[in-house]
Amino acid sequence: MKRILFLILIITVCLSGCTMIPKYSRPESPVPERWPSGSAYQQMPPAPKVLDATQLKWREFFADQKLQQIIAMALDNNRDLRLAALNVEKARALYGVQRAKLFPVVNAGAGLDKEQYSSDFISSGAPRRVDQYSVNLGITSWEIDFFGRIRSLKKQALEEYLGTQEARRSAQITLVLEVVRTYLMIAADRENLELGRSTLKAQEDAYSIVSRKYKINLVNEIDLERAQTQVDTAWGDVVLYTQQAAQDENALNLLAGSPVPEDLLPLNLASISPFMDISPGLSSEVLLKRPDIILAEHQLKGAYANIGAARAAFFPSISLTTTFGSASNEFSGLFKAGKGTWTYAPQVVMPIFDARTWAAYRVSKADRKIALAQYEKVIQTAFREVSDVLAVRGTVDQQISLQQSIVDSAQKVYLLSSKRYANGIDSYLSVLDAQRSLYSAQQGLISLKLSKFVNEVKAYAVLGGGGFNEADEQMSDSRDLFEENVLSLLDLKLGKSRR
């Protein structure tokens, strides 16, 4: 009997190998094959020389040792990244729960029943009390997945799990980008603060000169008040950049998950080591390696799997309950010959009319269209992000060169105006105007240098770089792939045919 039951189980599992999931094919990319070209874009290098950002570790891209330490702190301590990793663990467990539904739940049980009857209901001489000992092993209400409903749901759970892995990678890329951007902001604000302090000293020196001239009636009170206004303005800028630098440090501490030591913070933009130069190549297909796009594709595949589950709901549901064991009125006779018991109770439920089934099927088809639109939108957004980065890259060096020329010219104008004022040729108003122009040009140069740094980091991030961490993460990914391969082999042995 045990052999027969085991044979029945094997046959039913082998027969339940198909699914009704529609055949999936990757949609065509809704963006041009080539990156935009024109006067704002640099010419791309040939494809063989392109370094794939998704395979470039962040330690290779960010050569600055101090910055590397801060990024490592953030990857270890940032709470948002921890939540993303925990979501991966949760999705993995949910996938395991859904996959376990394919297999029967085998329970073993033992029982003792004692019952005493009324003498009015038993024949003469029969015992009034009856004892019954029993042991059994069996399967209770196991749904045999003939039409692939459970397998479709398992496929959907798998896609959700794989999607959360890509979401974690995307969260890490965002974290690395924010850490570096905040680090650069600290450097720029500290450089602006140093500029503000030097400007303040120059204004205080100028005020001292004007004050001495005022005391001997060489200048009027208007020039004195103008000089005082410039001193107060410079003080205001020093206070402002002191505040912004402190706020940037607070933001960096939050991203790092713990206070960042002062000796790891940059002095200015010039103290930061240059980043590695990367290129997106000639083809926009590189976008398909971005984790957010891979995540959207997993969601689209999950929507396909959900359609398979909705289709299978129109077909009969087959469940099986079976047990075998032994029963006796004496414990000592429980395992003697002739005491064996068994049950075999298959059940088939055929849906005749259920409006909810049709509604669920329409919902699944709508979900697939929504997932497809979202997938295409993510690709279009990614294409726009890379195009914007390339536009900045193609023009920022020229902007910096022009701004440096403006700073040099403003510096000369300021020096000449100061000399002319000292010799009594020009009024102090021309000196103030020259000083304002110089200060504004110097601030603009710092802003452009910051923009170039930030754009280089964005280029690395929008091309999918920074999503892989240390060797332990690679081992984790390899372990996940190994687990999935093992599970796939088990499914194949049970007769599954993937479509």
Quick one: 401 exposed, middle or buried, by C-beta within 10 A (0-12, 13-18, 19+)?
exposed
User: Which pLDDT value is given to residue 56?
Assistant: 84
Residue with the bigger pLDDT between 487 and 251: it is 251
- Number of Cβ within 10 Å of residue 486's Cβ equals 10
User: Which pLDDT value is given to residue 209?
Assistant: 81
Percent of the chain's residues with pLDDT above 90: 39
Per-residue pLDDT tens for 127-183? 777 778 788 888 877 888 778 888 888 898 999 999 999 999 999 999 999 999 999
Whether this prediction's pTM lies above 0.85 is answered by no
> Whole-number mean pLDDT of the chain?
83
Calpha distance 123→139 (Å, rounded): 38
DSSP string, 446-487: HHHHHHHHHHHHHHHHHTTTT---SHHHHHHHHHHHHHHHHH
Question: Of the given ranges (239-243, 348-352, 442-446, 450-454), which has the lowest mean pLDDT?
Answer: 348-352
Residue with the bigger pLDDT between 52 and 469: it is 52
**Residue extents of the structural domains in the chain:** 18-102+146-315+356-493, 104-115+127-144+316-350
Please name the fold of domain 18-102+146-315+356-493. Answer: Outer membrane efflux proteins (OEP) (1.20.1600)
Is pLDDT above 80 for 389? yes
What average pLDDT does range 199-210 have in this prediction?
A: 86
What average pLDDT does range 421-440 have in this prediction?
A: 85
Give yes or no for a contact between 443 and 237, defined as CB atoms under 8 angstroms apart. no
Strands 317-328 and 340-349: antiparallel
What average pLDDT does range 313-321 have in this prediction?
A: 84
> pLDDT band for position 48 (50/70/90)?
very low
Q: For tokens 């963006």, what's the residue?
A: 31
Through-space distance between the first and last CA atoms of the chain, rounded to whole angstroms:
35
Contacts (Cβ under 8 Å, ≥6 apart) of 327: 132, 133, 134, 334, 339, 341
Give every strand in the sheet of 317-328, ordered side by side: 106-116, 129-144, 317-328, 340-349
Q: Give CATH superfamily name and number for 104-115+127-144+316-350.
A: Outer membrane efflux proteins (OEP) (2.20.200.10)
Is pLDDT above 90 for 430? no
What is the residue type of 239? Answer: V
Residue 363 CA, distance from chain mean position:
27
Is pLDDT above 70 for 470? no
> pLDDT band for position 249 (50/70/90)?
very high
Strands 129-144 and 317-328: antiparallel
> pLDDT band for position 475 (50/70/90)?
very low
Give yes or no for a contact between 40 and 395, defined as CB atoms under 8 angstroms apart. yes
User: Which pLDDT value is given to residue 9?
Assistant: 52
Is pLDDT above 60 for 256? yes
Is pLDDT above 60 for 59? yes
Nearest Cα residue to 440 out of 254, 202, 210, 237: 237
